[in-house]
Structure formats: C-alpha cells, structure tokens
Structure 1
C-alpha cells in the first residue's frame, strides 16, 4: 500500500439555492433528537471508481465538484435544517433551557471540502481490516452533536484518489437518523442525475416534528449548562472488518432460526443479529454467568399510530434489547436467541414508544456511550434496507460504502446493503484485537460468511 495522507485542497460553504421561507426559520427538536446531544455525527460515504479513463483528470474533477456543489445547493433547499446551526435559549425567570435549530438565511450553510489522497481504490479495499486512513475521508471526527452550535450541521468531503473518488458525509445526529441520512443522500443523487433541476424530487422530506399531546414545540430541559449532559467519547483501539452475507446464507439462517423456534415469525435481520450476537459472545470468551445483550437501533416511524411518514426528517429512533446470560446464549441454539431478539422488536409498539417518551420528558436522559452502552453487548445499527448503492454521481455504481470514526466501540455492528442486492448484507464489525481474532477462527461463523471481497474493485 502506498504511504500517504489525505491533503485538503479547498473548502467552502454551500447555502440553499433559494431563500428559506420565514415560517421555516426555526426547527424544533424532539425528545429523540435531544437525547443524541452527546453522540458523534453520522459518518457514511460512498467510494466510486473514476470513469476509465477520464480524458482529462483535472477537467473531470473540476466538473464533478461544480456539479456536486450545485446539486447540493438544491438539495439543501429541501433539507434546509442541514444548512442551519444549533441555538440554546436560557432564561432565569421563568427558568428555561431550550435547544433548537436556527434555519434562517443568514447561516453559512453546509461545509464542502475537496481533498486528495495518493492511494488507489484497491489500497482501501484490499486489506482484510479497514485501514485507518478511511477515518480521514470524513470531516468533524470526534465532534459531538451539541457542537453544532459552532460547527456546521452537515459537512461533505470529496476525496480524490488516484483512480477513484470518495464522497463522505458527516451529518449532525441531532436532526437526522439513518433513514433521514439516506433520504438526503438519495435525493442529492437524484438531483445530480436530473437534467432538469426544476423537476420535483420523488421523496419530499417531512419537517413537522412529532411531539406528544401537551408538549412542544420547545422542550424545557432541567440543565443550567451543557457540561451537565455532554461528555466526549474516544474510540478504543479496535479491529474493524467487513463480512459479507449472501442472500442464500441469510435465508438459511432465517430458516434455521424459525425451525428451531417452531415459528415463521422471525425475520431475516433478527436471525442475522442473533447469529452475530452468539458468535461474538463466544469470541469474547466470557464467563457463563456474565450478562450480555443484543441491542438494536429501531425506527419509531412505522410503530407510531398513526404512522409517521418514511420521509419524516429527524432523529426518530430508539434502542431495544434482548438479554441473556453468556451460558444461556451459547448453550441454546440460534432459534432460542433469535426468538428473544424477535420478542424485543415486536413488543416495541406505539404504547411502548409513548411510554418511553413520557418517562423521558419527566426525567430527560442524554445518551452517553460510556454510561449507557453495555460493554458485553452487540449493538446492531444502520439497516441493509437503506438505499445505498442506488446513489450515482456520474461515475456509475459505487464500489463500497464505508463509515468514519463516529460512535464506534467494541461490539458495534453496522449493517449495509450488499452491493449485489437481493437481500444480501455486509456487516462492519468492530471488536478488540483478541475477540476479532477468535471470531475469524469461529467455524460456525465462518460457515455463514463469504470471504470473497464484498466490494467489487475493477482491474482497469
């Protein structure tokens, strides 16, 4: 691999193409949004091969950058909170502490960075474990969401490799979750590809935030200073590796889980989550009496009554958890574990969502990785259902989806759409060195993964 570092060439700020209407100058934050104050930004991005061969490399990248900036400006008009900044309003009489987004037209907008790297696509994708250089493909590393008071809420970094281009996006988790993130990315791609930029977008974001009756739009927090609820999280030393699960492999896991549980209700992702939970727990070599859990990020939108639209723009997620002792988990079969995961998911309904929101309003809790993340757990985040490889920016289909520094800890598992589609999935698993080594030797785990490179790297 070529030894190199990412070099920033230029940066600027992109504002919405048209002024934001006065009625939209304030974006209020919900309980779900505010709870993310101490988490990192979302960091995901797409790696593309350059067209082969560009007739003129400099003309190609210049044209690409200008078109990306223009289409981003249009996208920001639709996703206008991303061009704003956070504001805290405090009063002593009566006492109040409120956080919201200022979306007025005097904001700087989204940050746009152009950088270069003297490496190839193969240099990034060939190593078994994700190379550390990938973290440099993203801006705002280690920044927490509350820093959006002074930092941009969206930062785009375009990194030009020798034979490729990486489009990395750092988005404030206060105002967006994975569903919102990929809706933005899909819309940006749609605008980029449209010859007529006046054509309406296919999935207009829904900006009316949900609050329970009697609350909102401003939520009063029981704090006097942000030091009371903000902490900084440093990622521990980890090994990060992608494992590819084919459509057939996932179907076998699902069938096995349902047969062993004598049901047909366990989903593909619940089966896959339970399988990873069991394998990672074995790899950690924990005592049988220790407690472990499988935590899953869960979308509130379809669980509300009435349902919130899929285009609801905000951080609209929570976490559900299946728990067991290490002994129970490893001595019982896959179906036993998958059923526990299934129950945790199906019990999370409208009544449960509203109960959690009510309890939060009575006693607000800001999520802290060190305090609230179970170090013996497996945390399943993101979703293989998100449209990742449908995003194109004039360079064909992406060769890989990669993530940055943000919110990674031991036991973190990020789910991605498999590049070949059809229900396949790539899991990016983060573990301590010893646990990863043991997982890579686990025969049960090895029998379910494909060790061909999950990402396609053209030889041209």
Structure 2
C-alpha cells in the first residue's frame, strides 16, 4: 500500500464570534471513555467540478457548523478531584489534508492495516489537555479519485448521538441547506451542580456501572491480558440469521411474552456466549458485559430534542461463563435486558449525585490511551458492546454524494465491539469486534455455527 502523505494541517474556527467562557460539563461527560472516538467514511470520486474544491468546501462548511456547535471549538482543562471543564475559547478544530498514490479498490482488505490507521487523525495525549482539539478531521485523496473522511470526536464532550448530529448538520451546511435540528447546549439538566463540602455524607448508590470488572481467575490484575495482540473483524449477520436467533430467544423460557427480546439483547447475548467459548473459560469464570444505554428518552421529562452532550451511561451485566454456555441464549439476553431496564430517571439522577459527591473521578475514567493503568478495562474475561443500531450513521453528504462505506476507526481493545445496521437497510447487521489474535478464529466459528 502506498504511504499516506500529509499535505496541510488547518485550524478551523467558528465563522462568526461565539459565546466564550467556562462551560461546566455534566457528571456523565466525565466518566467512561474521555478520549477521542474515530469514525471513517469513504466516498467515490467527486465530479470534476468538485474535485479541486473538496478541502475548501469542508473548511468553509466546518467553520459555519462550528458557529452553531461552538463547544466543539473549545478546549478541556482539568479541575481539582480529576474533574474536567470545557473552556469555550473558539480555539478551533483541526482539519488535515492528505493524499496517497494507492488505488483504493477493496475496502475490506484496507481495513485494519497500518496504512488504514494513517488516514485517521492522530491525537498526542502526552501534550497538555488544554492544547488538544476536541474535533479532528482528515480528508485523504487516493490516486483512484476516491476520498476518505475520518473524524475523531472527544467523548468527554459528546456521545455518538450528538457526534452524528454534528456531522449531519455539517453535511447539510456544506450542501447549502439550513440546520435540521438546532443543538440544545445547556447541560444543567444532567448536571448536579457544585460538589458537597468535604466529608459531607454521600447518598448510597449501588450503581452497576461502578462495579469493578471481573478478572481472570488467579490473576491479580489485567496487565498480562492487555499485552496480548488483538485483531479486528467485521462480521455480517444476515436478516435470516438474525431472525433465526430472535425466534430461538423469544420462544425460550426466559422471554417476556408481552415484549420479547430486542435485536440488541439477542445479538449481544449471542456475542457474550461466543466470547466465553472462544476464550476457553472454565465454568466458574466470572465475566462482565458492559452495555451503553442512551438515557434521552428515559428521563422524566425526556431530554430536549438536539441535546448536545453525553446522555449515555454504562451498565454491567454479570454472570459466569458456565451459566452463559450451559443455559439457552435467553438466559444471557435476560441478564442484558434486566441491566438495561434498571436505567430509569431515578437511577440516572442518583448516579449523578453519587458522582458529584465522589472525591476523585479518575477511577471511573477510561484512560487507556493516556498511558495510565488505572480505570476500567473490559478485555478478557469481559467485553463491551455498543449499539449504533438507532443512530443516523449513513448518508453523510457534503455535496458530492453519500458515502460508499462507513465504519468505526481504529480499535485495538480486546472485547470492544460495535453493532451497526447494514448500509443497504435489508435487515442485516454488522458486528465490528476486536478480539485477541489467539481467540478470533474460534470466536468467528462459534458466532456463525451457534446460530
């Protein structure tokens, strides 16, 4: 594969003056993954009239989009007790222009390669956090005329729903259209306010998302597992295969006849069981599954349309490998369903109060890419599976047509997985999963044979 060559790096600021000042982040902004999350789009060759103007079109429309979404143009800074604050200073975002002599004909063979990683903007977390842009984009032109647009968005500022809201509005602005949904920027709805004085009593909170993830039996930490090489696979689950799984799970003794199990609960239960088998666990091995729950519609009242921030939280379903494998699929799906149902308005608000009064948030922050050993790790014997099934992922058009491929960027954390709808909207799903090299082939085998 021909090398990726960086031609220019631009700082893009809001097109007009915006509000500046200290912008408090909500408690849920500051826990879980607080680094940048990558997404990649590939496009066929733009028309000749557009070819030379791709970068300028992106720069100009991005500048205008930032006027409406100005928090993304700011910078984070650390506060005492390992809390983060957003400084809305209009410092801007980064847009990188790159090119390659490669003929990009097969996306699948390109995914996961060293060169693929180079089409994604790199973030140097060793520099002070006050200097790191919250949004980075890289447009790479290939010799064949195709282009890629890869973006990285700070998860301390937005979740997937809000990130895709921004991207879709950026595309609308580039096409000369008005905003579809104005972002709702006030986070006080999910903000507990000032912390209590030291030594003040904290509410009792037995939140699942703050449990320590299980370790392999006999191990004191997860360091050895973290050192093992991983590989990413994109596994398609056809509509027929999905229906077969759902038929099986919804006729099980564990199913609720009035509701049944959702696509997510069904497939995630299947993935959990397959991972336990592929990893060769002993029956008594504890295992945790991290589930990301969107609370927008679970709050009372529901969050305003266009809420721009983090409105997701992680909950953990736990079991043993023996229980998961020896019982029918409905057992695993039931564990997942129960964990999700626990996320009510009261649950969310109690969690906010718990975090507000906690002395140090570092233990709840996933800092793997910042070089720290602290923070939750969801590799073997655990995994995490995030659903993108209801997100407006596809159809990002900047004026030269919709993407021909969209998917997650680089991901090298064992057990981290995403569930995406198939682009053709034929009822199929895509599982993007990262597993240890030594486990991947066995995982694939169980993933398809156990259907």
Tell me the residue number matched to 1:111.
94
Q: Given the alignment, which residue of 232, 236, 249 partners 1:244?
A: 236
Match of 1:205 among 179, 183, 187: 183
Q: Is the 8 A contact 2:82 2:361 kept in 1?
A: no
Distance 1:414 1:121 in 2: 25
Contact 1:135 1:403 in 2 (8 A): no
Matched, 1:100 2:85: yes
- For residues 305 and 117 of structure 1, do their structure 2 counterparts lie closer, same or farther at Cα, with a shift above 3 Å needed? same
2:346 counterpart (343, 351, 358) = 351
Hey, what's the Cα distance between the residues in 2 that align with 1:306 and 1:434?
A: 47
Displacement of 1:141 after TM fit? Answer: 4.0
Which residue pairs with 1:86 in the alignment? 76
Are 1:387 and 2:387 an aligned pair?
no
CA offsets 1:82-116 (integer angstroms, 9 cap, x no match)? 111123466xxxxx8863222234x2x11111011
Cα displacement (A) at 1:147: 4.9
Aligned pair in 2 of structure 1 residues 87, 189: CA closer, same or farther (>3 Å)? same
1:236 to 1:298, Cα distance in 2 relative to 1, 3 A: farther
Partners of 1:373 and 1:210 in 2: how far apart? 30
Structure 1 residue 249: Cα displacement: 2.6
Shift in alpha-carbon separation, 1:386–1:212, aligned structure 2, 3 A:
closer
Name the counterpart of 1:20. 18
Deviation at 1:79, TM superposition (A): 0.8
1:122 equivalent among 100, 105, 127: 105
CA distance in 2, matches of 1:114, 1:400: 20
Q: How many Å separate the matches in 2 of 1:46 and 1:256?
A: 35
Counterpart of 1:158?
A: 139
For 1:438, the equivalent position in structure 2 comes to: 442
1:75 matches 2:58 = no
Task: Tell me, in whole angstroms, the C-alpha distance in 2 between the residues paired with 1:401 and 1:143.
Answer: 26
Q: Could you tell me how far 1:402 is from its partner in structure 2?
A: 2.9
Partner Cα separation in structure 2 for residue 176 and residue 212 of structure 1: 13
Distance 2:156 2:82 in 1: 16
In 2, Cα distance between equivalents of 1:281 and 1:118 = 43
Q: Are residue 271 (structure 1) and residue 260 (structure 2) matched? A: no
- Tell me if the contact between 1:235 and 1:409 (Cα under 8 Å) persists in the aligned partners: no
Q: Does 1:283 align with 2:300?
A: no
What are the superposed Cα offsets for residues 261-320 of structure 1, whole Å, 9 maximum, x if unpaired?
Answer: 243331111111111111121111111110112211111222211111342111222111
Describe the SS at the equivalent of 2:425. Answer: coil
Q: Distance in 2 between matches of 1:220 and 1:124?
A: 52
| Structure 2 residue runs without a partner (length 5+) | 199-225
Gaps of 5+ in 1: 91-95, 223-233, 449-460
Q: Is the Cα contact below 8 Å between 1:83 and 1:154 reproduced in 2?
A: yes
How many correspondences in the alignment? 412
User: Counterpart of 1:138?
Assistant: 120
SS at match of 2:53: helix
Q: CA deviation at 1:432?
A: 0.6
Aligned positions of 1:301-312 closer than 5 A: 301-312=296-307
Partner of 1:453: none
CA distance in 1, matches of 2:196, 2:62: 34
What is the distance in 2 between the residues matched to 1:78 and 1:174? 19
Among 34, 39, 52, the residue aligned to 2:30: 34
1:324 equivalenced with 2:319 (yes/no): yes
CA RMSD of aligned residues (A): 2.7
Structure 1 residues 70 and 314: alpha-carbon distance in aligned structure 2, compared to 1, 3 A threshold? same
TM-score by length of 2: 0.84
Q: Is the 8 A contact 2:261 2:333 kept in 1?
A: yes
Secondary structure of the 2:401 match is: coil
TM-score, reference length from structure 1 = 0.82
Selected match of 1:396 from 367, 388, 401: 401
